[in-house]
Homo-oligomer: A and B are copies of this chain.
Amino acid sequence: MKDQEIITEEQKKIARFAKAMGHPVRVYVLEILSKQSCCYSGDLSEILPIAKSTLSQHLKELKSAGLIQGETEPPKIRYCLNQQNWDLAKKNFENLFGE
C-alpha cells in the first residue's frame, strides 16, 4: 500500500473549492454568476475597485479550481459557472455541514 491516505480525496476537493472561495472578490463573482446565468468580465471590472489584471487573476483562480468557465466571445469573454463542478461543490459542502 503506497499511501495511508488519512485525508480523503473528497476532503482535498473541498479544501480546493474552499480555497478558491477564500477571497471576497471571488465570492462576489460566484454570487453574481449563481444569480444570473452569466456575465462579462468587463462588467465586473467596472464595478469592482480593483485593477483589470487583478480581476483577471481572480477569474483565473476560479477557473483553475473548476468553479467557472469562460467562453470567448470576441472581443469579450463571457463567464459562467461550471455547473457540474458547482453542483459537486455544493454537494460536498452539504455533506460536510450535514443536511
Contacts and interface: CB of A to CB of B under 8 A. Distances in A.
A26 B90 CA distance: 18
Interface string A55-84: 000000000000000000000000000000
Count class of interface residues, chain A: 20 to 34
Nearest to A95: B31
Contact of A18 (B22, B34, B90): B22
Contacts of A2: none
B27 A15 contact: yes
Contact of A27 (B14, B24, B31, B90): B14
Contact of A31 (B89, B90, B96): B96
B19 A22 contact: yes
Contacts of A6: 28, 47-49
Given A11-B31, A19-B19, 16 more contacts: A6-B28, A7-B24, A7-B27, A11-B24, A11-B27, A11-B28, A15-B23, A18-B18, A18-B19, A19-B22, A20-B22, A27-B96, A30-B96, A31-B96, A86-B97, A90-B97
